Amino acid sequence: MSASRVVVYGGRGGLGSVIVDYFKSKNFWALSIDTVKNEIADANVVVNKDASWTEQEGLVLKSVGEALNGERLDAILCVAGGWAGGSANSENMIKNSEILWKQNVWTSAISARIAALYLKDGGLLQFTGAAAVLKDTSGMLGYGMAKAAVHQLSISLAHKKSGIPSDSTVVAVLPTTLDTAQNRKWMPKANTDSWTSLSYIAELLYEWTVDPISRPPSGSLVEIITHNKQNELKIH
């Protein structure tokens, strides 16, 4: 096992796969947590999406501990998530909200538990929020509630009594639209110049992992603004 270790929650998704690949190219040992296996990762925890929250937590914590075998993590990157629309008059509003809570909040909370047990002092814990949630989300209520919870978790974990290792940094990245194959399929006529590339996020998270001085203050909500394919970070 190499000296540097990362967990990527959502490591088989569009963004997660790019992050695993990038960290592996930098000689990191990478563990993927997802509902399907990432063949590139050094280790995998495959979660049953139909299991309860506590069942998923139990499996993940046990499996991560066994894979680490006494070692500790440099970073925990939670890029699992999902999106769905729906206002209060949508008959699927509650159904979608439940799914989004599982995809966004369950994974983030379990990532916090991983950090409490296995993150190095001075390590990085990253969550994925959403820039849209800085304003009203009336047309996507379930998504707004779930991402707002992730933002609150990120802010709260930055405090000393949160239970994560000392000198750790907790940040949430808040993109607007990621340049994924799925988004291009859903929005084939969109102007993608304002979409954030997956490789940019992978490189950014790597920089924050290996260079603590480059990190934003712990508890930051880091909005990623992309314009004409140029990226800017705005700290909230």
- At 186, the pLDDT band (50, 70, 90 cuts) reads confident
Tell me, yes or no, if 143 is annotated catalytic. Answer: yes
pLDDT digits (tens, 9 = 90+) for 104-122: 999 999 999 999 999 999 9
Q: Which of 22, 118, 143, 206 is catalytic?
A: 143
Give every CB contact of residue 89 below 8 A, 6+ residues apart in sequence: none
Q: Per the CATH hierarchy, to which homologous superfamily does domain 5-235 belong?
A: NAD(P)-binding Rossmann-like Domain (3.40.50.720)
How confident is the model at residue 2, as a pLDDT?
Answer: 52
Q: Which residues touch 13 (CB under 8 Å, ≥6 apart)?
A: 34, 79, 80
CB atoms under 10 Å from CB of 161, counted, come to 5
Q: Is pLDDT above 80 for 184?
A: no
**What's the whole-number average pLDDT of the chain?**
95
Rounded to the nearest angstrom, the gap between the alpha carbon of residue 150 and the centroid of all alpha carbons in its chain is: 10
Residue 1 has pLDDT above 50, yes or no: no
pLDDT mean over 21-26: 98
- pLDDT tens across 28-73, in order? 999 999 999 999 999 999 999 999 999 999 999 999 999 999 999 9
